[in-house]
Amino acid sequence: MLMGRLHLVLPCFSLGYLFGYITLFWTSPYFANQHELEFSSKDVDSSRNVQLERIGGEKRSAPFTGEDIDSYLLILSYHEQMNNAVMKLLGLSPVAMNLNLKIVEPFVVHSRLYGLPGFLPKSEATAPFYPLGVLFNISSINEALYNYAKASMVSFKNFIFYAPRDVTVVHFVHKEFPKLHSFHLAHCHSHILELVQNSATPIVDCTNEILVDEQLHSGLQNALLNITTKYSVPSFRIARFLCVAGERDIMTDELNMALGPGRKTVVLSMWRGCAYKHCNVDMRHEYTQRNRPQLLYTLEGERLNLRNATIVPSELVLESSEYYLNYIQYGKSYLSIHVRVEKLLKRNGIVQVDPDYLECCLSVLRKTVNNLRKKFKLSDVLLITDVGKYGTDSCQFEECRNASEKFVNRLETLINAKTLEYDPKITPMKISNPGFVALVEMYMLIGARRLITVGSGLYSQKLTTLFENKRHSPKASQFVHIMIANYVNWLTSELTC
């Protein structure tokens, strides 16, 4: 029995040690050389100065400060891409409120949110980290957090200075090992799973087991050490790991008791978000929705519809949008079109090209564009898709990318318009983050006289809502999943494919 245990532990310990060494080697120089934007007043470029106290155009308000009396909640990874990730951030507020924790401002890498610079896999570590405030007005996010559940967010810098140095990591353990993602436990954790499954309670102190075989411990500890060394402040110490049975429901009161009294620094490896009356906190896996682990909280009804929350873009986004429209010499009388190609090509995450369906979509779009051009004398067409360098990162594998390019080429030919290829280097800010670019493109699109959206998704919904809310604006012409459509709009009687 003992020998069998040693055969399990020794390989895992070696893997964990090797991973920690690689993480330290990989992140240290990158962190030191390329992360100045979020931690100092260094120029983004020679003509624009972005300061911590004025990211997004607003001065930091009182709620966006940490104090040495607060407890903190740091999420290493927010599930899904930008728009959904921000909704999940807002959905974190009831949990933070019940646990009496301040949410730490995340960073944007590519079009996803991460909580800690220097703790990413090698494939993603080459992209720069930008504070969330570069994309959104932080005051508006704090207002939404407060309105929803009286929660608030603090800057990462204040977290580094004020947070308690002893860290408690909360990790959800599953029967089926999750798919590889940015943050995960070691490959060998069967004895941890056995410990959690055999426990009478859903939350177990698994510190000793984690320290034996853990990649997460060494990588996280080294990333925290790099940051505190940069600021010349006391180092963090990972004091405890709490393992939670992924298939069991727990109340926030239970988690609060497990965390213990006093000020705390709590780290969650991944946050998937909340639905009404419950929150799913898990890694990616193949379980059905109802079998996902739940972190239940008590909140009397929804105080705010999160999808209708007013999240204002940063001043940098608005300035970049205006600058780029002037650069391409578009006035106010242009037609804008946004096509979510991924939604037209993928079903349940799998590429399924239906030529008849795509031709139907293109035919309807071509007729609509021609009618709008003729009726409103619109010579300029702003065509933007989710394909390309700054497009969605969930359609980057070869089959999806090839199918997308073919569709876009066909689209450009039919409507006689070229897809906008946004170049951040042209703008004074020169911010090349895909999430930032997507927001800039959104505000370029809503500046048009008429808007057409093809495909579905939260981005399209937000785009249409913003366009319809413009003062004296006509209703947007929107096509959402023409494949299933019997959609009546102001221009055509009925569209059916």
Amino acid residing at 318 = L
Q: Are 134 and 48 in contact (CB under 8 A)?
A: no
Which residues in 450-483 are b (16+ Cβ under 10 Å) and which e? bbbbbbbbebbebbbebbeeeeeeeebbbbbebe
- 3 state SS for the chain: CHHHHHHHHHHHHHHHHHHHHHHHHHHHHHHHHHCCCCCCCCEEECCEECCHHHHHHCCCCHHHCCCCCCCEEEECEECCCHHHHHHHHHHCHHHHHHHCCEEECCEEECCEEECCCCCCCCCCCCCCCEEHHHCECHHHHHHHHHHHHCCCEECHHHHHHHCCCEEEEEEEECCCCCCCCCCCCCCCCHHHHHHHHCCCCCEEECHHHHHHHCHHHHHHHHHHHHHHHHHCCCCCEEEEEEEEECCCCEEHHHHHHHHCCCCCEEEECCECCEECCEEECCCCCCCCHHHCCEEECCCCCCCCCHHHCCCCECHHHHHHHHHHHHHCCCCCCEEEEEECHHHHHEECCEECCCHHHHHHHHHHHHHHHHHHHHHHCCCEEEEEECCCCCCCCCCCCHHHHHHHHHHHHHHHHHHCCCECCCCHHHCCCCCCCHHHHHHHHHHHHCCCCEEEEECCCHHHHHHHHHHHHCCCCCCCEEECCHHHCCECCCCCCCECC
As a whole number of angstroms, the distance between CA 337 and CA 449 comes to: 11
pLDDT value for 139: 93
Q: What pLDDT was estimated at residue 23? A: 40
Alpha-carbon distances of 285 from 70, 172, 291, rounded to whole Å: 34, 12, 11
The amino acid sitting at 396 is Q
Name the stretches of the chain with pLDDT < 50. Answer: 1-2, 5-6, 8-11, 13-63, 178-188, 282-291, 478-497
Which two three-digit tokens encode residue 105? 């401002």
| Residue of 154, 105, 152 lying closest to 130 (CA atoms) | 105
List domains and CATH numbers for the chain.
Answer: 2-306 (no CATH), 315-484 (3.40.50)
196 CB burial (10 A radius; 0-12, 13-18, 19+): buried
- Position 381 scores a pLDDT of 94
Determine the residue type at 28: S
Backbone angles phi, psi at 401, to 5 degrees: -65, -45
As a whole number of angstroms, the distance between CA 168 and CA 188 comes to 21
Both tokens of 185, joined, read 């436990």
For residue 168, what pLDDT is reported?
96
pTM over 0.85: no
Q: How far apart are CA 71 and CA 167, in angstroms?
A: 11
